[in-house]
Every structure is written in structure tokens, then in C-alpha cells.
Chains A and B, each alone.
Chain A
Amino acid sequence: MAGSADLFAALIELADDQLILGHRLSEWSGRAPILEEDLALSNLALDLIGGSRNIYTYAGLVEGKGRDEDDLAYMRLEREYLNCLLVERGNDDFAQTMLRQLYFAALMQPYWQAALASNDETIRGIAGKAVKEMAYHVRHSAEWVIRLGDGTAQSAEKMQAAVVEMHPFTEELFTMSEAARACAKAGSLPDRESLRAEWSRTIASVFEQALLTVPEVRFPQSGGRQGRHGEEMGHILAELQYVQRTHPGLTW
């Protein structure tokens, strides 16, 4: 068994990824290019936020200090959030949002698939739900990346620009923190590095149909897993935590 501190930290990485990406997707509510897509983006956000609640709740149990999902989601300092930088990037446009989703889900689908074999029953339960959701996220975002990549000249240009902008953030998806490594060794959570080949195949196949090229990334961006975030993270938390911080300790 990995120590409970390791499992706690590794679960927080997972939950923070889901909460922050869900938060970003929820910012599209009422603003999507097509009404049907507005509803679809809310579904994606609801999957991620719903999943984060289960993971935070379990993390709180593992930690054993009586913190619940909201204590963990709302009452930490910026440096204590362990999400990767990819998920916190702002919604530049619809192309970038769909690409960000594809990059994330193309890893998390096989991740949760592998987690079905975890020796931790709660994690198997979380994975069972998440693996189906992530398969849909991959399908939905891939369809849009292909549509936009092989749509008009303008959409192709925006799509490729999004690839250039976002690709440097993908490397961090595979970062194995010490906590994550301990959990992988103990058999409670999958090894991200082992899923790289599958992720690359998915991306390559989508990019081929979308007429996109994978850029060479000489300087990958990372830091979120150590709690070093971009400037936008503080703004996300300012909104997220606003009510809880203004009136601490109440029930809502």
C-alpha cells in the first residue's frame, strides 16, 4: 500500500484537474457557438465536476482530517491546487477549448480504463463511471477538432493556432509526482507514463483527419503539479472561492 499521504496527494491531482477543467467548460454556458453545443459543453462540465466531487470526498476520507468535498475544493491556497497547467488555460476560442478537451480526455480515458484494475475498490468505482464519460469526451472533442481542422480556411487556421498554443502544455499530463509514483507502485492508481503511446496514437489519428500537424515542442510548460500555476489560476480561484471566503464556515 502507498501511504495515505501519497494517495491523498495523487487524488487531489486528479480531482483538481477535473474541477478546474469543469470550471473552464462551465464558463461557456450561454456562450457557445450553437445552442446544441451549449448543452453539450455543460454536459462535459457536469461530468467533470461530478467526478471531482467523488474524488475529493474520497481524498478527504483518506486524509482522515474530516475535510469534505467543499473544504477541499474551496478552502485551499493557490499553491495547494495540484492541477496541471493545461486545464487552467483560459477559453481563447472554441477551437482551443475543444483541443484542450481532446488532449485531456485522450489521456484520461485510458487512465480510468487502467484504473478499473486498481486494488482500491473506491477507485474502481470512480473509474467505472469516468471511463464511459471520458470515451464520450474524446469522441465529442475529436469530432469538433476534425470539423474545424477540415472546415473553412479560417477554422483550419484557428485550429492549427490552437495546437501551437496548447501543445506545450500536454507534456505535464504525463508527469508522475512522487505521490503518483508511489500509488502506481502500490497498484492503486495507473502509471501515466505507460499511457503515453496510446495518447499519442489517438492524437495522431485525429490530427490526420483534421489535417493538423503536431508541432515540435522544445520547451514544454509545467508546474501545476507542484502548485506553481499561471496567472489565470488566481482569477479562477477568486471566483470559485468568492462566497466561501466572504462568509466562511457557513452552509449553503
Chain B
Amino acid sequence: MYSQGLIGSDSSTDETVEFLAAFQARIDAEEKIEPNDAMPEGYRRTLIRQIGQHAHSEIIGMQPEGNWITRAPSLRRKAALLAKVQDEGGHGLYLYSAAETLGVSREDLTDQLLDGRAKYSSIFNYPTLSWADIGTVGWLVDGAAIMNQIPLCRCSFGPYARAMIRVCKEESFHQRQGYEILLTLCKGSAAQKEMAQESLNRWWWPVLMMFGPSDGESVHSDQNTKWGIKRFSNDALRQKFIDATIPQAKVLGIEVPDPDLKWDDSLNDGRGGYVHGPIDWDEFWRVVKGHGAMNRDRIRNYKKTVDDGAWVREAAMAHAEKRAARKLAMAAE
């Protein structure tokens, strides 16, 4: 998974007008900005923050799905889930590498995550409580991630855009796999179908929040649009997602928990689309600020992983140094 509408970015910058204009001209010509190119400080800072947030989301996102690896109901599902969680770790890895090209280390980014300076997607602060949640997370969370990330494949910053192309391919595989889990449940027993419905009831609204608040309230999104980091508004992406998802829910035979949902012919320039009921943004901000069901556990678990692994990382470094020294000594003989 996934990037969310960037939370709390600061894209202020103080280069000369000429420099900024020349930079803007490159962006407008759809040129890719590469790590060694001159760039405004605000652009660099915004990208570090966004790519870091995205990488952290991949890493923290391993927890809710990893929660079911040892309980997956068949060997095929167990292998697929383990491979999916592994893919998410791989996404984290490419993204940390992309961020490193901007002059920030993985360790620094990890420190920022652990001390709360950096955020990750709010969706991962919800718990996975049933096997159906593994289907729902794949279908909707990876699905929302794809909506968010496809435009990022054309992001002005080269390394991020290239990472997104690779990541999006895998996310769409995850999305189909998740949908297939739900399809199997919905074709199964009454208890299985109920498990799928109950899962959708819990995830639907939090997934819609993944796109971020309405753009009226979203900070600095204008500058990010000019810089080619953001291509569509949060609301436009959310609309696309809902329009794509409702027909899929109908195939499953389960319903999204929104009594106000209705078709409106006038949406999407007259092609029609779904109008949804009000989103509880208080809940969104509460979770972003650390008060969701799983915020504390996610960070505590990750901190434990980082702390428990310290001696291994130190040993690997010490061993590499010893080897290098021995090699040097041999060469000197």
C-alpha cells in the first residue's frame, strides 16, 4: 500500500524568482526532476515528507495483514498473504531508496516515524478482526492506494515516479487477490457472507478517508499541484474510487454502509456517478492525531522490532569491518 493525501506538508521555499521560474518551466514541460538536479528546498522537503510517509505506510501496513498469516485458512491463502505482506515490505524498501536520493537516510526516516514527527496512512490504525478483513483490505485499501498512486506514476520527481510504476503493478495484483477472497466468502455459507458484510461495514468509511479531507481544507495542495506532485484533488480521486467500487460490491452481493448513497446523472460531466453521505472527519483527525484503535500498538510493535534488531545490525556491521580488515591485512602481506 499506499499514499494518503499528504498530511501537514510545508512547501514554503525562498529561492530567487528566476530560479523558481526556471524550475517551474521544467515541470510544465513534463521533464522529470532527478536527484542531482537543482530544486527548490520546499520541493525537496515536500517530497521527502511524502515519500517517507508513503514508505512508512507500507511498513506499518505489514502489521494488520501480518496479523492473519499464521491463521490463514488454507495453504494457498497462507502463501499468497505472506507473499503480499512481503511485497509491501519491498514497496517500503524502494520508497526509502527513492527518499534517500533526496539526502535523507532510512534511519532518520525511521526515527521520525517512531517519535511521531512522520505520519503513515490512517487506515492502518484500524484492526483486522476476521479473515474477511484480509479480503477487504486487499480489495479496498490496495484499491484506494492504486487510485492515489496511478497519478503518481507521472510525478515530476523521477525516482518516485519510477518506484510507483513498479508498485502499482503489484498493488493491482493485491487488489484482485483481495476481491477474490471476498468472492469466495460471498459464494460460501451464510456465516462466510456475513463475515464479508461485517468486514465491509467496518472498513468502508475509513477507506474513503484514505483520500484525505476535501480539498477546501487540505493544506498546500495548490503548490503541490503546480510542482507536479499532485495531479487530482482528494475529492476527485475519492469519487473515482467510489464509482469503480460500488459495481464490484454489487457483484459480491454485499452493501456499503451508506444509507445516503445514490446515483446522480449529473456527476462526472454528465456521465453520472455516486453521491455519498457525509464522512466523519472528526474520526479521521482523531485517528491521524494518534487516538485510533491501533495507533499505539502499531508504533510500539515497530519500535520493538527496531530495538530488538539493533544487536543484529551491529553484529553485521562489526563482521563486515572485520572482514574488510582481514582482506586488507592479506593484501599487505
Contacts and interface: CB of A to CB of B under 8 A. Distances in A.
Interface stretch (B4-12, B83-91, B203-211): B83-91
Contacts of A147: 315-316, 319
A26 B315 contact: no
Interface stretch (B72-80, B167-175, B223-231): B72-80
A99 interface: no
A36 interface: yes
A146 B322 CA distance: 12
Contacts of A36: 93
A39 B73 contact: no
Interface string B80-110: 0011011001101100100000000010000
B14 to A, nearest CB: 35
- Say whether chain A's binding surface is mostly helix, strand, loop, or mixed: helix
Nearest to A151: B315
Interface string A136-167: 00000000001110111011001000000000
B309 interface: yes
Contact of A239 (B70, B312, B316, B322): B70
A113 interface: no
B266 interface: no
A34 B69 CA distance: 20
Given A42-B85, A148-B312, A252-B184, A70 B192 contact: no
A178 interface: no
A43 B70 CA distance: 15
Given A42-B82, A252-B74, A31 B305 contact: yes
A46 B82 contact: yes
Q: How large is the interface on A (under 10, 10 to 19, 20 to 34, 35 or more residues)?
A: 35 or more
Interface stretch (A104-112, A126-134, A222-230, A243-251): A243-251
Contacts of B192: 247, 250
Given A26-B82, A38-B89, A147-B315, A240 B77 contact: no
A49 B75 contact: yes
Interface in A46-73: 46, 49-50, 52-53, 56, 69-70, 73
Contacts of B76: 53
A214 interface: no
- Say whether chain B's binding surface is mostly helix, strand, loop, or mixed: helix
B59 A155 contact: no
Interface in B109-152: 131
A73 B78 CA distance: 12
A110 B46 CA distance: 53
A53 B106 CA distance: 37
A74 B71 CA distance: 10
Contacts of B311: 33, 152, 154-155, 158
A220 B75 CA distance: 32
B318 A94 contact: no
Interface in A12-48: 19, 23, 26-27, 29-39, 42-43, 45-46
A30 B92 CA distance: 11
A132 B316 CA distance: 26
A174 interface: no
B181 to A, nearest CB: 8
Question: Ordered nearest first, which 3 A-B pairs have the shortest CB separation?
Answer: A33-B309, A151-B315, A155-B315
